[in-house]
Chain A
Amino acid sequence: AQSVSQHNHHVILSEAASLELGCNYSYGGTVNLFWYVQYPGQHLQLLLKYFSGDPLVKGIKGFEAEFIKSKFSFNLRKPSVQWSDTAEYFCAHATGTASKLTFGTGTRLQVTL
């Protein structure tokens, strides 16, 4: 069965620090990778996605992610975090024709002032 692993469960950073959240997926077929974010009290929303082409994808709010096929990884990065980036971040992989999402367990990011 496909799986998505997020090894960082809780990350605490100061404002302006750089961020990298790890994500590894197990599926060896078609790649459809996503990062979702859930801000406190809000719905889950899409940050960015990768299907093919340039392995470095840019999303909203200054986030980017790099797909590295050889490592089965899709790490999320941001050069300088803000307090407003405090949220839970989920990596996901869509498989099959139905686009069922397989999610990682999430990483809680806390940004301190």
Chain B
Amino acid sequence: GAGVSQSPSNKVTEKGKDVELRCDPISGHTALYWYRQRLGQGLEFLIYFQGNSAPDKSGLPSDRFSAERTGESVSTLTIQRTQQEDSAVYLCASSLGLNPTYEQYFGPGTRLTVT
């Protein structure tokens, strides 16, 4: 079956521009997670959704970052006024639910480069 998909796969943007990253989770997965990986660092949790609700936004690095999810499907991560330190690979994962026994399936990521 189809896995988690993300678009675009690569995005180069100028500092100060806004970007929107998209994630399509596996059908039926109610939980959706966003992580990012900066060069030389581990994956860093950003935000999760249960359905279209995001109870914990504590991982978002600043108020320039926001995310939303439509029902139990597509999610978008928006970064406003991008900065060079936002350059990273942004990964999305989905799972059947929030219980840690449910495996998180990862997408291929979006590589964001801010010039």
Contact = CB atoms under 8 A, between A and B. Distances in A.
B90 interface: no
A46 interface: yes
B98 interface: yes
The interface size bin for chain B is 20 to 34
A103 B104 CA distance: 13
B108 interface: yes
Interface string A81-113: 000000000101010011111111110000000
Given A43-B3, A44-B91, A99 B42 contact: no
Given A43-B3, A43-B107, A44-B91, A98 B41 contact: no
A103 B42 contact: yes
B104 A101 contact: yes
Interface secondary structure of A, over-half rule: strand
A105 B40 contact: yes
A4 interface: yes
A101 B35 contact: yes
A105 B3 CA distance: 25
B60 interface: no
A105 B41 contact: yes
Nearest to A106: B42
A45 B106 contact: yes
Given A43-B3, A45-B106, A100 B33 contact: yes
Interface string A3-22: 01010000000000000000
Contacts of A43: 3-4, 105-109
A103 to B, nearest CB: 4
A100 B48 contact: yes
Contacts of B91: 44
List the 8 closest pairs (A to B, CB-CB), nearest first: A103-B42, A103-B43, A44-B106, A94-B100, A32-B100, A99-B100, A105-B42, A100-B45
